[in-house]
């Protein structure tokens, strides 16, 4: 199908984008890479009256390290995340996750800001942001605000962004302690949306895990942190403890059923992921 008619305007600065957003509110949609917006428009799931193209705003592009923080511009494309030395060094979880996002032709256009603002519950990057305790920086006409990733994602395609705000960058804390990460997802085909997936970040002290954030995606209406991960912190972990924690995690979930997978299959896959993730990360700790 084709998108219904809409007006199109090119923003020349963040300020001009915010002017237009405040003039049109809910009737406007921001266009960056367009890899989620245009399919939704072509399928006529949404029909904005005006599309504001922010694709040319160079000020929103790029990855920089400053003051122990990795700052990623909202318009940084998936392909750039994949190839960035700073991401590879300081946020290897993101680099690994991006390999699972769609296909090369889509990664050449899609942006991190677009993915986060779109907030698909099955998307990889939102889960990475929650696992890494990222801060999402958003700007409105009255100024900038910073939202913890855990508060940013609020439900299916729902975020803390108001209709008059623009996501400008993402700040990732650079880990100073020894750390490890884990990423895995189950999908029917490489690059498809996951049936269930996990993005995890662990810190280590001696041979045990001192912190463990396991963010699961495609198993709820937004990325969720496994509470049961707390059972594996600051203790020497046995396989039996991992199994028990995985079972407890399964009870935390209430996954939805859709044409891709039943609720039971999703819960089963999530528990399998929990065991693999916890097993891999505790093994990294024990091998130190």
Partner 1 sequence: MTAPMAIALEVNGEPVNAHVLPRLNLADFLREHLQLTGTHVGCEHGVCGACTVRVDGEIVRACLLLAVQVNGKSVQTIEGLSDSGEIADLQAAFRERNALQCGYCTPAMLMAAQDLLRRQAEPSRERIREHLSGNYCRCTGYQAIVDAIEATAQARKVQVR
What residue ranges bind partner 1 (CB under 8 A)? 1-9, 31, 34-35, 38-39, 42-43, 50-51, 53, 55, 79, 102-106, 108-109, 189-191
- Nearest distance in Å: CB 51, partner 1: 7
Closer CB to partner 1, residue 26 or residue 251? 26
Closer CB to partner 1, residue 6 or residue 157? 6
Closer CB to partner 1, residue 35 or residue 169? 35
- Nearest distance in Å: CB 152, partner 1: 25
- Nearest distance in Å: CB 2, partner 1: 7
Closer CB to partner 1, residue 1 or residue 240? 1
- Nearest distance in Å: CB 190, partner 1: 4
Residue 262 neighbours by CB under 8 Å, 6+ apart: none
Closer CB to partner 1, residue 3 or residue 256? 3
Strand partners, 216: 198, 224
- Nearest distance in Å: CB 14, partner 1: 19
- Nearest distance in Å: CB 283, partner 1: 26
Closer CB to partner 1, residue 80 or residue 165? 80
- Nearest distance in Å: CB 58, partner 1: 14
- Nearest distance in Å: CB 276, partner 1: 21
What DSSP string describes the chain? --PPP-EEEE-SSHHHHHHHHHHHGGGEEEESS-TTHHHHHHTTS---SEEEE-TT-GGG--EEEETTEEEEETT-BHHHHHH-HHHHHH-HHHHHHHTTSS-HHHHTT-BHHHHHHHT-TT-HHHHHHHHTT-EEEEEETTEEEEEEHHHHEEETTEES--TT-EEEEEEEEPP-S-EEEEEEEE-SSTTSPPSEEEEEEEEEETTEEEEEEEEEESSSSS-EE-GGGGGGTTS---HHHHHHHHHHHHHH--PPP-SS--HHHHHHHHHHHHHHHHHHHHHHHHT-
Closer CB to partner 1, residue 37 or residue 129? 37
Closer CB to partner 1, residue 20 or residue 220? 20
> Cα separation of 129 and 70, whole Å?
12
Contact 270, 252 (CB under 8 A): no
CA 139 to chain centre: 19
């Amino acid at each position: 199908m084709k998108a219904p008619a809409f007006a199109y305007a090119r923003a020349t600065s963040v300020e001009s984008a915010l002017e237009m957003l405040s003039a049109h509110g809910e009737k406007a949609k921001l266009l960056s890479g367009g890899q989620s917006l245009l399919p939704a428009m072509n399928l006529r799931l949404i029909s904005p009256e005006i599309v504001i193209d922010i694709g040319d705003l160079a000020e929103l592009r790029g990855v920089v390290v400053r003051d122990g923080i990795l700052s990623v511009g909202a318009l940084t494309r998936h392909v750039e995340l994949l190839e960035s030395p700073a991401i590879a060094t300081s946020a290897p979880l993101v680099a690994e996750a991006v390999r699972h996002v769609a296909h090369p032709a889509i990664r050449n256009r899609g942006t991190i800001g677009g993915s986060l603002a779109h907030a698909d519950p099955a998307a990889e990057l939102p889960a990475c942001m929650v696992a890494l305790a990222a801060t999402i920086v958003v700007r409105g006409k009255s100024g900038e605000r910073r939202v913890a990733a855990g508060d940013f994602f609020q439900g299916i395609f729902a975020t803390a962004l108001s209709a008059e705000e623009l996501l400008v960058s993402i700040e990732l804390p650079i880990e100073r302690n020894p750390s490890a990460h884990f990423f895995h997802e189950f999908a029917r085909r490489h690059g498809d949306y996951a049936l269930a997936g996990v993005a995890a970040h662990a810190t280590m002290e001696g041979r045990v895990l001192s912190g463990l954030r396991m963010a699961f995606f495609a198993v709820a209406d937004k990325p969720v942190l496994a509470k049961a991960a707390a059972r594996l912190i600051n203790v020497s972990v046995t396989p039996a403890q991992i199994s028990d924690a995985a079972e407890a995690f399964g009870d935390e979930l209430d996954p939805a059923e859709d044409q891709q997978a039943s609720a039971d299959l999703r819960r089963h896959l999530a528990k399998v992921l929990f065991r693999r993730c916890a097993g891999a990360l505790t093994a990294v700790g024990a091998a130190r």
